[in-house]
Structure 1
Amino acid sequence: MAKIAFIGLGNMGGGMCANLIKAGHTVAAFDLNAEAVSLASSKGARAADTVSDAVRDAEVVVSMLPAGKHVLSVYFGADGVAANAPKGAVLIDCSTIAVTDAREAHTKAEAAGFLMVDAPVSGGVAAAEAGTLTFMAGGEEAAFAKAEPILKGMGKNIFHAGGAGNGQAAKIANNMLLGISMIGTCEAFNLAEKLGLDAETFFKISSVSSGQCWSMTSYCPAPGPVQTAPSNRDYKPGFAVAMMLKDLHLAADAARAAGAEIRVGELAESIYQNLSDRGFGGLDFSGVMKDLKGQL
């Protein structure tokens, strides 16, 4: 078992931290939100007052933060991880950030004497709480070997995607595909309804036919067929439009830098941008269905 500092106890991080405690690790938890720290403490974590307090004797640091600027600040700021954690600690950043930011973090961590992996997640809040997340890890083999046992305490599918930043590359490409497939699934269910098919009937047919996809079978945007989907909770997230839009922005930026065409990805980005601009950033991303039906 390891001494772990967990930084970032939001919707995803709180559940991830709790699962590390359940796995038997000793966890010091820090977040700017005192209520989140208090909740982690109630589940067995040591409440830390600062980043430096959290990491002072950590063998592993795990972070779940909003954006690249936060990651770079938390790890390499004056009161940050690199200045205060024991040399040789393994740094595991599970945030979804730009590939360039992840690679900058790797370079700085290695120069400061740390092993690092970028290990963004897939699965959402429910999987974070259940410990069934998928992790896509980028970094050197030695770093991944030390990080993998920790990741297994929070997830069921752990992949080494390659070198520094490749975890982020896998995440943003995957989520671009998810954003695209969700819009297509919403349009298909809406068309089926307009043509006289109810959602249950269309689901039974398409879920075992060539149109089958995760957006349909696990997260159906039409109310009814998948009881655990946000569509049955008036599209309360889940995975919010704002979060999908963040990932699509990252994908678009990375595509421009790499010279990769993402025509449908850019269209998906524009659709979620429109929802956000109209004040629906807090709606679940499957709420495209409500928009198609004129309910927004």
Structure 2
Amino acid sequence: MATIGFIGLGNMGGPMLANLVKAGHTVRAFDLSDAALARAEAAGATRAGSVPDAVEGAEVVLTMLPAGPHVRSVYLDEGGILAAAAPSTLLIDCSTIDVDTARAVATAAEAAGLHMVDAPVSGGVGGAEAGTLTFMVGGPDAAVTAARPILEVMGKAVVHAGGPGTGQAAKVCNNMMLGIQMISVAEAFMLAKRLGLDAQKLFDVSSKASGQCWSLTTYCPVPGPVPTSPANRDYAPGFTAAMMLKDLKLAQEAAARSGAATPMGAAAESLYALFCNQGHDGLDFSGIIRMIDGQE
């Protein structure tokens, strides 16, 4: 069992921490939110008063932060992780951020004699709570091997994508596909509605035909066909529209830097921006079907 410093205890980080504690790891937790720290303590973690307090003496440091600037600050600033961590500490960043930041922080960690992987996740809050996340991991072979037992406590799949930053590359590509697919599924159901085709009948056909995808069979955006989908709880989020918009923006930034043509990704970003600007950023991303249906 390892001593783990865990920084960033939001909707994803909190349940991920809880699974580490359940597995027998000693976890020292830090977040700017007192409520998040209280939940971490209730889960069995020890409250840390600062980033250095969480990092000092830890064999592993895990972060789950909102965006690239937060990652740069927490790792690179004076009093940050790289300054506080002992040599050979394993650093695991599970944030979803831009590839350039992931690679810059990994380079700085290597120069400081620390092992680091970028390991963004797929699976949403439900996956974090159930310990069934998928981790897309970028980093050197030795660091990924060391990180795997920790990640496997929190997830069902750990995929080594390649060198530093490739975990983030896999995440933005995956979520661009997801955002596009959710819009396509929503449009199909709304077309079916106007053509007089029952939603369950469309599901019965498409879930067994060439329209099959995760956004349909696991996360269906209309109530009924998939009882566990957010559509059946008024689109209470497993993965918010705001988070989807963030990931689509990251994908478009990466496309612009790399010269990739992603017109469908750009269209998805525009539609999610419109949905969020209407005040629905806190809804599940599948709730965009309401806008497509003309309800918003």
TM-score by length of 2: 0.99
Corresponding residue number in structure 2 for 1:78: 78
Hey, what's the Cα distance between the residues in 2 that align with 1:104 and 1:171?
18
Would you identify which runs of 4 or more consecutive aligned residues in structure 1 move more than 2 Å? none
Hey, what's the Cα distance between the residues in 2 that align with 1:266 and 1:97?
18
Report the secondary structure of 1:32's partner residue.
coil
Deviation at 1:294, TM superposition (A): 1.8
The C-alpha deviation readout for 1:155-196, integer Å capped at 9, x for no partner, is 010000000000000000000000000000000111111111
Corresponding residue number in structure 2 for 1:14: 14
1:272 aligns with 2:272: yes
Deviation at 1:42, TM superposition (A): 1.1
The C-alpha deviation readout for 1:17-38, integer Å capped at 9, x for no partner, is 0001111111101110011111
Corresponding residue number in structure 1 for 2:216: 216
Q: What runs of 5+ residues in structure 2 fail to find an aligned partner? A: none
Deviation at 1:240, TM superposition (A): 1.1
Hey, what's the Cα distance between the residues in 1 that align with 2:128 and 2:283?
19
Deviation at 1:247, TM superposition (A): 0.3
Hey, what's the Cα distance between the residues in 2 that align with 1:295 and 1:229?
19
Deviation at 1:282, TM superposition (A): 1.3
Corresponding residue number in structure 2 for 1:165: 165
* Residue type at the aligned position of 1:64: M
Hey, what's the Cα distance between the residues in 1 that align with 2:10 and 2:49?
16
Hey, what's the Cα distance between the residues in 2 that align with 1:250 and 1:35?
29
Corresponding residue number in structure 2 for 1:197: 197
Deviation at 1:198, TM superposition (A): 1.3
Corresponding residue number in structure 1 for 2:131: 131
1:291 aligns with 2:287: no
Deviation at 1:269, TM superposition (A): 0.6
Report the secondary structure of 1:182's partner residue.
helix
Deviation at 1:220, TM superposition (A): 0.2
Corresponding residue number in structure 1 for 2:112: 112
Deviation at 1:51, TM superposition (A): 0.7
Hey, what's the Cα distance between the residues in 2 that align with 1:199 and 1:49?
52
The C-alpha deviation readout for 1:243-289, integer Å capped at 9, x for no partner, is 00100100000001101000111011110011122222112111121
Corresponding residue number in structure 1 for 2:121: 121
> How many residues of Structure 1 are paired with residues of Structure 2 in the alignment?
296
The C-alpha deviation readout for 1:176-219, integer Å capped at 9, x for no partner, is 00000000000011111111111111111110111000000000
Report the secondary structure of 1:279's partner residue.
helix
The C-alpha deviation readout for 1:101-134, integer Å capped at 9, x for no partner, is 0000100100111000000000000000000000
1:87 aligns with 2:87: yes
Deviation at 1:84, TM superposition (A): 1.0
* Equivalent residues in 2 for 1:208-247, closer than 5 Å: 208-247=208-247
* Residue type at the aligned position of 1:127: G
* Residue type at the aligned position of 2:87: K
* Residue type at the aligned position of 1:117: V
Report the secondary structure of 2:159's partner residue.
strand
Report the secondary structure of 1:100's partner residue.
helix
Hey, what's the Cα distance between the residues in 1 that align with 2:61 and 2:209?
44
Corresponding residue number in structure 1 for 2:178: 178
1:187 aligns with 2:184: no
Hey, what's the Cα distance between the residues in 1 that align with 2:175 and 2:215?
11
Hey, what's the Cα distance between the residues in 2 that align with 1:55 and 1:274?
40
Deviation at 1:87, TM superposition (A): 1.2
Hey, what's the Cα distance between the residues in 1 that align with 2:205 and 2:232?
20
Hey, what's the Cα distance between the residues in 1 that align with 2:43 and 2:237?
24
TM-score by length of 1: 0.99
Hey, what's the Cα distance between the residues in 2 that align with 1:292 and 1:62?
38
